[in-house]
Amino acid sequence: MPSLPPMPHPHLVVLRSAATLVLSAVVAQAGWAAAFIGGDPGYRAFHEVGAWVTVVLVVACAVTYLVLRASAGPVNVTLAVLLAALVVVQTGLGSAGVTAPHVFLGVLIAMVATALTSWTYRHSLPEGSSASSNPRSQ
């Protein structure tokens, strides 16, 4: 009977979980925006609340990547911090009612969130780092 592959290092589990939560919030935001733009104004309230949930998640994600920067690597840290900055700007644009740049930036945010998630799931810990020895995989 084949055995299951070993669990990834706990740092990778945390980073992947953070990226997945952020991507889920970004996708939900796009869905709520599409629903109210499509003619159901009741979804605007969900989109407005979701904006603040997304801000909290992306800032927490960026902090997580900064704390685990040795495990995350420079590309992932850069993407996480860039995503947090973009979402904060996006929230300001939405609050100010600046629609066209808000929609454009929303698409860019979805792309950056997808890139962060993709890069994080493909990332492995640097060789020789203290975090690269996973006691669970031995």
SS (H, E, C) the chain: CCCCCCCCCHHHHHHHHHHHHHHHHHHHHHHHHHHHHCCCCCHHHHHHHHHHHHHHHHHHHHHHHHHCHHHHCHHHHHHHHHHHHHHHHHHHHHHHCCHHHHHHHHHHHHHHHHHHHHHHHHCCCCCCCCCCCCHHHC
What is the structure's pLDDT at 132? 52
Q: Could you list the pLDDT tens digit for every one of the 138 residues in the chain? A: 789 988 899 999 999 999 999 999 999 999 999 998 888 889 999 999 999 999 999 999 999 999 999 999 999 999 999 999 999 999 999 999 999 999 999 999 999 999 999 999 999 987 766 555 544 443
Place of tokens 């733009």: 37
What does the alpha-carbon distance between residue 50 and residue 7 come to, in Å, rounded to a whole number? 32
What is the structure's pLDDT at 135? 46
| Boundaries of every domain in the chain | 10-124
What is the structure's pLDDT at 97? 94
